[in-house]
């Protein structure tokens, strides 16, 4: 007995495998108050330069770390630390900053604010990462102020253990 012919239908488009779309990597912000305000330092660490936006962080005091030439911040309800906000960082870049900062600092989430001069909306709170001195070293943060100008002057022709 003869079998009936089977008609072959073309494969439908929906059955074709689709290219997977990777979700965009989340971008992070980092409030910096010390040597990470220097574009050349940021470039050394992550391989690109970011423009910092003037910002401040209430509830933290910054000061020179004893026996060092870099600052640290510690909690202080009455204080304000000035610095910059770096935006558009990837998770892998944050890890590079973690390696740079080492065990003396811990990265935590804080609420910073752009300085009113640079912000259209004024003192708008922004969630960002920052590095605070580890609890075991907080007593090393002195009352002596630390500024980029002072650091640049000090560093002319000199390299620190971090440089």
Which residues belong to the active site?
Answer: 101
Report the chain's C-alpha Rg in angstroms: 25
- Determine the angle formed by the axes of helices 39-46 and 91-101, rounding to 10 degrees: 110
DSSP 65-113: BTTSSSEEEEEEEEEEEEEEEEEEE-HHHHHHHHHHHGGGEEEEEEEEE
Q: Spell out the residues 6+ positions from residue 79 whose beta carbon is closer than 8 angstroms to its own.
A: 58, 59, 60, 61, 62
Cα–Cα distance measured from residue 68 to residue 34, given in angstroms and rounded to the nearest whole number = 12
Nearest alpha carbon to residue 148 among 30, 10, 52: 52
């Amino acid at each position: 007995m003869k079998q009936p012919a089977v008609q072959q239908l073309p494969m439908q488009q929906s059955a074709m495998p689709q290219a997977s779309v990777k979700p965009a990597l989340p971008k992070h912000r980092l409030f910096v108050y010390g040597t990470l305000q220097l574009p050349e330092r940021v470039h050394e660490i992550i391989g690109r330069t970011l423009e910092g936006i003037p910002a401040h962080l209430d509830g933290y005091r910054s000061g020179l770390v004893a026996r060092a030439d870099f600052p640290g911040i510690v909690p202080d309800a009455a204080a304000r630390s000035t610095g910059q906000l770096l935006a558009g960082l990837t998770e892998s870049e944050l890890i590079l900053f973690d390696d740079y900062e080492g065990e003396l600092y811990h990265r935590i989430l804080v609420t910073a604010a752009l300085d009113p001069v640079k912000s259209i909306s004024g003192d708008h709170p922004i969630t960002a990462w920052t590095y605070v001195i580890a609890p075991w070293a907080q007593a090393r943060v002195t009352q002596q102020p630390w500024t980029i100008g002072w650091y640049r002057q000090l560093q002319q022709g000199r390299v620190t253990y971090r440089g």
